[in-house]
Chain A
Amino acid sequence: MALQKAWMVLLTILLYCGIAFANPMIGVDNYTYFGTTAETITVKWEASSGATGYELRAYLHEQQIYIWVGSTPSLEFTYQLPKSGHYTFMVRAVGNLGESAWSESTDPNVANVDGNPRAWWVYGHVAPPGPIVIE
């Protein structure tokens, strides 16, 4: 009896962990850029069962670094790009027992806006130099 109870507890823990650590469902059809302007981008993803929130990070390809984007309980996040460059995004679910692994990066080649293919890079603004003086 005690052994059976222990198995039940273990199975419950494993099931709970499995739900809490499930990856968000990231795919080319449900991870979409939209509403892109020169300096902001909004990413979306599908819900992960058991998740209480989500965390996002971006990879800036020019510098080969990861940038913390933010966390949210919703299924989309609008990000103010800190600088111009080429970005891809990753998301992970956060549950009561921790967080999932990071999702695969957004696929730059199939990102789309309202179903229309678009380039994956986002250009920020570059301010021109000041007025020229010749002496």
Chain B
Amino acid sequence: MPKLKDMILTFPPSGSPDVVGYKLYVQLANDPVTYDSESWDLGLNTSIDIATLPGMTTKDDIYNMGVTAVDEAGNESSFSLINDVPLDFVAPDPPGPLSFVSG
């Protein structure tokens, strides 16, 4: 089990009074983030270590990211965006087998 570096994503909360959660969207940097991009529910967290999100251990490229607010009726806000974020959560291969050499 590799140990991944921390990568903390934060954002100020939505100003709407009935927000019940936030969603993070991630898209390879050559395409814009849309509501069809790969997404994760963040709950009401406005700060999260994205290395801990399921599936992140395969990400090793440049990505565009967006966060939306979701209200209790299911409406989703427009995106708060950040582009061209390098993500590398693919740990290097471990060293080869250990051996002892007697002198």
Task: Report which A residues bind B (CB closer than 8 A).
Answer: 62-63, 83-86, 121, 123-135
Count chain B CB atoms within 10 A of each CB in A125, A132, A134 and give the residue with the most.
A132
A127-B16, A134-B65 known; 17 other A-B pairs, CB under 8 Å? A84-B75, A85-B73, A121-B73, A124-B75, A125-B16, A126-B14, A126-B19, A126-B70, A127-B14, A128-B14, A128-B68, A129-B77, A130-B13, A132-B65, A132-B67, A134-B9, A134-B82
B22 at interface by CB-CB < 8 Å: yes
CA–CA, A62 and B74, complex, Å: 10
Size of chain B's interface in residues, with CB distance under 8 A?
33
**Min CB distance, A129 to chain B, in Å?**
4
How many interface contacts (CB-CB < 8 Å) are there between A and B? 87
Known: A133-B9, A134-B7, A134-B85. A128 touches B73 (CB 8 A): no
Q: Which residues of A contact B77 (CB under 8 A)?
A: 126-129
Q: In the complex, which of the residues B8, B17, B68 contacts A83, with contact meaning CB atoms closer than 8 Å?
A: B17
A83: nearest residue on chain B (CB-CB)?
Answer: B18
Q: Which residues of A contact B67 (CB under 8 A)?
A: 128-129, 132
Q: Which residues of A contact B71 (CB under 8 A)?
A: 83-84, 124, 126
B46 at interface by CB-CB < 8 Å: yes
